[in-house]
Every structure is written in structure tokens, then in C-alpha cells.
Amino acid sequence: MNHAKQHYDGLTYPKVVVVGGGFAGLEVVRGLANKPFKVLLLDKQNHHCFQPLLYQVATASLGADSIAHPFRRTIGPLPNVAFRMAEVQEVLPERRVVRTNVGEFEYDILVLALGSTTNFFGNQQLAEVAMQLKSISQALDIRSDFLQEFERAMVLREENDLRRCLNFVIVGAGPTGVELAGALAEIRRTVLKREYREMDSELMRIVLIDSNDRVLKNFSEKSSANALRYLQELGVEVQLNTRVAGGDPDHITLADGTVLETNTVIWAAGVKGVLVPGLDKAVNERAHRYTVDRTNQLQGYPGVYALGDIALMEEGDAWPKGHPQVATVAIQQGRHLVANLLRSSNGQAARPFTYLDKGSMAVIGRGRAVVEMGGRSYGGVFAWLLWMLVHVVQLVGFRNRIMVLVNWAWKYLSWKNTIRLIIRPYVREGTAVSRPAALEGEAAPVPHQA
């Protein structure tokens, strides 16, 4: 194994291993490009995924390649950066080694930017039956699922079976849940009504459930009220102060005993950090995140940093319980860490991180969105246009920006979700959803419907 410090252009530089190529990881990689560091990016995927637009892939508005960007296209021109497609299994801090499924990698500086995964809050029953939306493959699963349910409904005769096919339950009324519900409601009003004319589109039911007393709980009351009104205008059934207790492949049960018949449950109720074994002293079990100081360094592990969703940083009275698990935090922490690493290389002291809250936004269908900036709340068409502008600018790669703009333009001019392709069908065991064994792009068999 090579020494931790690597030679680059005849000089010896510290080796920085970045685990995770999300918003924070990419900021670090690009920020250290052509700087006195040898950088290695590790990720189990070969691409960056723009997660804020995953719901549009799931609802057939965008293709997967519109929001994904290959890592090698980003790092190819960067002479001091390398990439390995690898899944991290363990960190060995006493040896300064990251162990992966493709071998071990030494580091001088380790940056963990693994992001988050779905939090089912210990409900294993729901974890087995509910769909998730944290990756492109999961988004494609949802897209295939609702299209298959439409096709199944066309040949069913029993009303109970028909309604179960067309009942879509979304758990969690945060931005992801609200945006998904709004997009499905628009599909009911346009695609289902126009292209499935032999079926009553009003039979499609979209239920949004949340245990809080309002949607978009982390937004202002004005924005929450506007979002609720937009959802209701689109015909979404919103059930607040409601908790899901359990579920089976063909129904879910609420805490009050109510049973909702459905084949499709999408869980958007919470997230937790993706942690790796070996750094247990810094883990906050309650938050399922790493406790870090104001420079994002893990407590008890010099030279190891955590960014974004997995970092729990107490920032005075402003953020006593840590920062929100959103992209803006990850981006700002990534940039701040780069600045501190460059300061350290010049013999200067690191500076503490301060989060600049630039606001929040969520879209609820065409011409309907809520945006909070500068202490003010905006809604309607202005907020919708602002939401589109911000998301296009944040996309990685010029090609992706153009593709998204073209797809949006066609969708909003034609009133059609154009990418309604069942390329990788869902296979159901009974009525339960299970992941197909086929690779993406290969068709897995769908059980015959009588």
C-alpha cells in the first residue's frame, strides 16, 4: 500500500478521500481541483444525482439522465482528482484507512458526505411495503408502478380492486411529499383524463398523510396555508395529525384503526444520516448523525470531517439542534471546508462555519409554489417561476440544464408528461412491490392479470 501522502507533479501533497458525491462532496472535489492536495472521490454510484428533482423523474416529467451527471465527466479534466466506484464498508481511523468493497484507501484527510436515507422510525412493516424516493432507481420504480397501476385498472371489473389500484398514499407532507402529491394530481387531471378515457379519472385518489398539524411544517404558517390550499385545489386529500401504524401490500392502517386500501404507499416522512462503522464515538444515536465541531470535524477523530445531512453541528442559538438536512447546508459546508483546508495548508487557523439561510421553496403543480426568502413568503406563479430558475441554475452540467428546460417547456406548453415509459417494470409478489432482478433498461416479467 502506498504512503498516505501522494506524489503529484513531483511534490508530496496530503491525500484527501471524499466519500459521497452529493452536493457537499462535489463542492469539496471541485474546490480542491488544481490545489496542493491529492483527491480521491468514492461513491457507490458512478453519477451525481440532483435529488430535488427526483420527484419529476418519478412522475414522468423528466428522464433520469436529465438530473444525473457522471462523476468522470466532472473529474476528467482535474489532474489531481481520481474517482473509484466503491461502497465504503468501514473506516479504520487508527490506521487512517477507508475499507471498501474494492480495496482499502489511505487518507490524510477524510471527508464524509454520504447524505441521508429514508427513516421509517423503526416500523419494519412499513419499510417492507412502502416505496421510497432517495435515488434514481427508486424514482424509476415509482414511475413504472403508477403507470402499471393505470394499465391494470383498465382491465379490472371489481370496484374494490379498481379503487385499490388507483389509490395512492403519500406519507409525509414535507417538500418531497407535497411535490409528489401535486404532480400526481396533475397527472390525474391531464394524462388520466385524456388518455385513459374508458376509465373514470375521478376514481384516482391521492391521499397525503402527516402527523403534524400542517403541511410543510418547517415553513411559515402563511406558506403552509398556501400549500394546503394549492393541494386542495388539485383534489389531494390531506390528512393531518394522522399517524400510520402499519401496513400490508394491499393496505395501510392508521393509528386510529382506519384502513386505507392501496397498492402504492410512498414514504416521504423522514430521513436519517448514512453512517459507516468505525467512527462510533462521534455518532449521535438520537439524530443518527455525526457530532461535529464548528469546522465540521468529528469529535474525537482528528482529520475526519462530516458534511451535509450526516453532520450534527450546534450553531449557537440559531441552530441549537443542528442544521436542516437540505442541499444549501451541504453546499455551504463543502465550500467552507475547502476554504479551511486551503487556510490550513498555508499555516492559518480554521474558521468556524456559519450557516446562511437563503430560504426554502416547494412547488405544488403548474403555477403553484411557495418560496420563502429574506423573511418574506411568496406564492403563486411568481414563486413557481423562481423555483424553476433556482433549480435549473443548481443542476450540474450545461447539458442537463438545457434538457430540463426543453422538457419543462414541452410539458407546460403541451400539458403532457412525455416520458411515460414502463421500461423496467415492477414485479409484485402477490400485490406487494419488490425490486426486479433485471438491470436497469432490461424488462422484468410482470405477473399476468386476469
d(CA 362, CA 177): 10
Residue 297 is given by DSSP the state B
pLDDT digit string (tens) for 28-45?
999 999 999 999 999 999
**Helix (H) and strand (E) counts in the chain:** 12, 29
| Confidence bin at 419 (pLDDT 50/70/90) | confident
Q: Can you list the domains of the chain with their CATH numbers?
A: 6-44+86-118+272-345 (3.50.50.60), 124-269+360-434 (3.50.50.100)
d(CA 166, CA 158): 13
pTM: 0.88
pLDDT, residue 427, reads 72
pLDDT, residue 9, reads 52
Assigned C-alpha cell, 305? 470531517
Q: pLDDT: is 445 or 47 the higher one?
A: 47
d(CA 345, CA 337): 12
Residue 319 is given by DSSP the state B
pLDDT digit string (tens) for 45-56?
999 999 999 999
User: Which stretches of 92-203 are DSSP H helices?
Assistant: 124-129, 136-155, 159-166, 175-187, 193-195
Residue 66 is given by DSSP the state G
pLDDT, residue 433, reads 40
Residue 309 is given by DSSP the state G
Assigned C-alpha cell, 437? 432482478
pLDDT, residue 282, reads 96
Cβ contacts of 382-389, under 8 Å, gap ≥ 24: 386/361, 387/361, 387/362, 387/363, 388/363
Sole residue written with cell 501522494: 6
SS3 category, 366:
coil
d(CA 68, CA 55): 13
Partnered with residue 428 across adjacent β-strands are 433
Asked if the model's pLDDT at residue 122 lies above 90, the reply is no
Asked if the model's pLDDT at residue 8 lies above 60, the reply is no
Chain-centroid distance, C-alpha 231: 21
pLDDT, residue 399, reads 84
Q: Which positions are catalytic?
A: 179
d(CA 370, CA 380): 7
d(CA 381, CA 334): 32
pLDDT, residue 408, reads 85
pLDDT digit string (tens) for 275-330?
999 999 999 999 999 999 999 999 999 999 999 999 999 998 889 999 999 999 99
CA atoms within 13 A on the CB side of 377: 15
Over residues 354-365, mean pLDDT: 93
d(CA 130, CA 323): 27
Partnered with residue 432 across adjacent β-strands are 429
pLDDT digit string (tens) for 155-206?
998 888 999 999 999 999 999 999 999 999 999 999 898 899 989 889 999 9
Phi, psi of 131 (to 5 degrees): -85, 155
Q: pLDDT: is 265 or 443 the higher one?
A: 265
d(CA 270, CA 154): 34
Q: Find the angle CA(215)-CA(318)-CA(25) to the nearest 5 degrees.
A: 80
| Confidence bin at 428 (pLDDT 50/70/90) | low
Assigned C-alpha cell, 20? 459521497
Q: Which of 12-16, 121-125, 208-212, 436-440 ranks highest by mean pLDDT?
A: 208-212
Q: Which range is least confidently modeled, 75-84, 92-101, 272-281, 392-401?
A: 392-401
* CA distances in angstroms from 171 to 118, 136, 140, 403, listed in the order given: 12, 19, 19, 30
In a 10 Å sphere around its CB, with 0-12 CB exposed, 13-18 middle and 19+ buried, how is residue 305 labelled?
buried
Amino acid at residue number 356: L
Q: Are 310 and 112 in contact (CB under 8 A)?
A: yes
Stated as kind and residue range, the H or E segment containing 116 is strand 116-118
Assigned C-alpha cell, 249? 401490500
Beta strand pairing call for 81-85 and 38-43: parallel
Could you tell me what percent of the chain has a pLDDT over 90? 78
d(CA 289, CA 117): 11
